[in-house]
Amino acid sequence: MTDDANAPWLIVGLGNPGPEYAANRHNVGFMVVDLLADRIGGKFKRAQKAQAQVVEGRMGPPGPANRRVILAKPMSYMNLSGGPVTALRDFYKVPTAHVVAVHDELDIDYGVLRLKVGGGDNGHNGLKSMTKAMGADYHRVRFGIGRPPGRMQVADFVLKDFSSTERKELDYFVDRAADSVECLVAEGLERAQSAYNS
């Protein structure tokens, strides 16, 4: 492995491929990495060594905090995310501590962010697959989507689009989540947590 301080970062948005899933709650990870790709001026292309789309670029202010990053969207469906993520990690020689999963989180209110490293998967199939493939010691940017209303099943809820009320604030929350990723990469977890964990 390369020297960890100078090693690249792999920022993975979790979601499902295909237009029918694009606006689902479960795809908020894709939304965040799409915005990050716009910010670094990159276009997603098929990865050579993994079932994923990737953008390579640099993130952060000029100088020592400027980092090489690989933004990725696994194209394997959520519950198989671990395979593509591990293949990308190995291909780009990214230490697991520099892997960031951006994902939807049921147990947090809509739009609230929580950043952490390690921990359980809380029933999230994308995290479950990643942890099985490479251990749990990667960063997570958890984007709150809240619990399903009434008796709606969790699987139905996460595979539905954001409601019209939620959509009014979605761009703002996605923007804030993208900011938190940039802060994490440039300034570290503690700084990002104090600025963005609400």
Strand-pairing partners, residue 45, are: 54
Helix and strand element counts for the chain (H, E) = 6, 7
Please report, for residues 153, 168, 169, 170, 174, the alpha-carbon distance to residue 165 in angstroms, rounded to integers and kept in the order given. Answer: 20, 6, 8, 9, 15
Largest CA distance in the chain: 52
Task: Report the C-alpha gap between 137 and 117 in whole angstroms.
Answer: 6
Task: Report the C-alpha gap between 74 and 63 in whole angstroms.
Answer: 30
Is 98 designated active site? no
Catalytic residue among 26, 98, 124, 139: 26
Strand-pairing partners, residue 144, are: 105
What residues act catalytically? Answer: 26
